[in-house]
Amino acid sequence: MLGTYFWENWRYSNAPEGQNPFEKIVGLTKYGFVGSAGVGIYDSILLSQTAGFWNTVNCLSYWVIPVTAMCATFASVAYTTTKIRGKDGYLSYILASLATGGICYCWQKKGPFSHHFTVLLMGCATIKKYGDLNDWNPLPLNPEVREQYTSIPFDFTLTKDPRGRRPWE
């Protein structure tokens, strides 16, 4: 019940930049938590094949804690820089990406990986901010796609029903 409440009501884009910091942090952190929990479960079951409770907790926390911290850092730094500067722009997201890249470096301890991650995150954040400022959606979800048939409209049966077609076919 509480999870459904957070998932439905707390969104990053509900308020403009520089307002409602808690809602923005929760709105972005929930995606990081769910995504990193999925990767951690995949890692603990298929890759690491952990045996025992504490080994599984260690494997899950290796993914969940840093990714969730990166999401919270991005949201809080973007809010803070927007509040300090007094205007909304690309610089807020670029500085938030740099702070998130610092957490990535502390987590992975690999300079080239964290550099590439930071540059990629800056690019994605800039595209997202461009879409917000110009009313453009970089990943549009067409409502017609979500309302398509759930079954294939063709009949691939090997033997036809001797009684003929049904009214629902």
pLDDT of residue 35: 95
Structure tokens, 161: 């029903």
- Look up the pTM and report it: 0.79
129: nearest Cα among 16, 7, 5, 22: 16
pLDDT of residue 169: 63
Between CA 146 and CA 75, with CA 125 as vertex, the angle to 5 degrees is 95
pLDDT of residue 1: 66
Unique residue bearing structure tokens 């709105």: 27
pLDDT of residue 154: 66
pLDDT of residue 80: 94
pLDDT of residue 4: 76
d(CA 65, CA 50): 18
Q: CB–CB of 72/25 below 8 Å?
A: yes
Give the residues of the chain that fall short of pLDDT 50.
none
pLDDT of residue 5: 75
d(CA 10, CA 33): 14
